[in-house]
Amino acid sequence: MRVKLFILIFFSSIGLLKCQTNGLSIGDTLPNFSYQGQFAKPYSLKDLKGSYVLVHYWASWNEESRKMQQDFTEPFARYKDRKFKKGRKFYIVSISLDESPKIWDLSLKKDNLPWRSHVCDFMGWNSPIIQKSAIKTIPSNYLLDPNGRIIAKNIKKDELEQLLSGF
């Protein structure tokens, strides 16, 4: 328990845990949402409980969010099958604010991301998922612990790797 507290204090002190952007805070639970994703099998965020999950918000028209998503491919490859002390695996769920299915699909093909959870309801900023997640800007992301609680916000590749290596 002391080690976890030290890690949280350490990461907070060097700015890795971002607490003041968007509407949800560290320790909050990200509201559940269901999604069809890019493939036929329907999913729900609660289906991923027991694992670490990075929920990343992006759009094809936002280069910064696409670059950030590309940057996450290395940590995903490194940690997707890792057995954590208190978690089964590591997943990434990418939620797009695109409004055009064709452009969204072309972006996914071009970016060739290795994870399978790509979500878009083509409602842009009016998407219920975006509203529930309290997203105000992109790129944005939440790292969830195995209980579905937010443990980090708006982290970049190096911060993600540092956090995951400690679990």
Residue with more model confidence, 36 or 154: 154
Give the rounded distance of the alpha carbon of 159 from its chain centre: 13
In CATH, what class is 2-165? alpha beta
pLDDT digits (tens, 9 = 90+) for 112-128: 999 988 999 999 999 99
Output b/e per residue, 111-141; b: 16+ Cβ within 10 A. Answer: bebebebbbbbeeeeebebbeebbbeebbbb
Residue 89 three-state SS: coil
Percent residues over pLDDT 90 in the chain: 71
Q: What is the pLDDT of residue 37?
A: 58
What tens digit of pLDDT does each residue of 82-109 get?
989 988 999 999 999 999 999 999 999 9
Q: What is the spatial distance between Cα 146 and Cα 50, in angstroms, rounded to a whole number?
A: 4
Q: In the chain, which ranges are E strands? A: 34-35, 43-44, 52-58, 90-96, 117-119, 140-144, 150-153
Q: How many CB atoms lie within 10 A of CB 61?
A: 15
* pLDDT at residue 33, rounded to an integer: 87
Any idea where the domains of the chain sit in the sequence? 2-165
Q: pTM of the predicted model, to two decimals?
A: 0.84
Residue 35 — pLDDT band, cuts 50, 70, 90? confident
- Using pLDDT thresholds of 50, 70 and 90, give the confidence band for residue 22: low
20-29 core/surface letters (b: 16 or more CB in 10 A; e: else)? eebebebeee
3-state DSSP assignment of residue 142: strand
